Amino acid sequence: MKKLKIILLLLPVIFVGLQFTNPPRTNPPVVNDLAATNPPPAEITALLRAACYDCHSHETKWPLYSRIAPSSWLVVGDVNEGREHLNFSDWPTDADAAAKKLDRINEVLGYKEMPPTKYTLLHPEARLTEAQFKKLLDWSDTAGAPKK
């Protein structure tokens, strides 16, 4: 019984201590937003902003649980990794590089890998309907094609 009491007393202390390990949440300046070079239709921009920008841009809306360890480690880690792979705030100015990104977007949307389920569980506004998936697929299919 005594051991249990000690553990219960220590838990809040550990929790407070963990808060010193919160990783930094950054939102660096936007370098070159997708809309500056490859402006998609307004509807597509809105879908990307609702479903992708939290992890693939410098305009992350950090939720409360991203400020509290241990969930902060997971959220900040996902955003940093997401930005490394695809960053709508640092969109390639080179047409070939941009086309490659669009290909990858098309691929993950085709498999419905993105937005990740762990994210849409907590962000219902980021859930995409079949029709919205289709719109994003059509856009990413044609936006990267060379202009005729």
Around Cβ 55, how many Cβ atoms within 10 Å? 23
88 counts as binding ligand HEC under rule CB under 6 A: no
Nearer to ligand HEC, 17 or 116 (CB): 116
Contact between residue 25 and residue 62 where contact means Cβ atoms under 8 Å apart:
yes
43 counts as binding ligand HEC under rule CB under 6 A: no
Sole window of 16-24, 30-38, 49-57, 91-99 interacting with ligand HEC (rule: CB under 6 A)? 49-57
The region, left, alpha or beta by phi > 0 then psi within -120 to 50, assigned to residue 112 is left
86 counts as binding ligand HEC under rule CB under 6 A: yes
d(CA 139, CA 41): 9
Nearer to ligand HEC, 18 or 49 (CB): 49
Whose CA is closest to 108, among 56, 35, 38? 56
110 counts as binding ligand HEC under rule CB under 6 A: no
Binding site for ligand HEC (CB under 6 A): 51-52, 54-56, 78, 81-82, 85-86, 104-105, 108-109, 114-116, 119
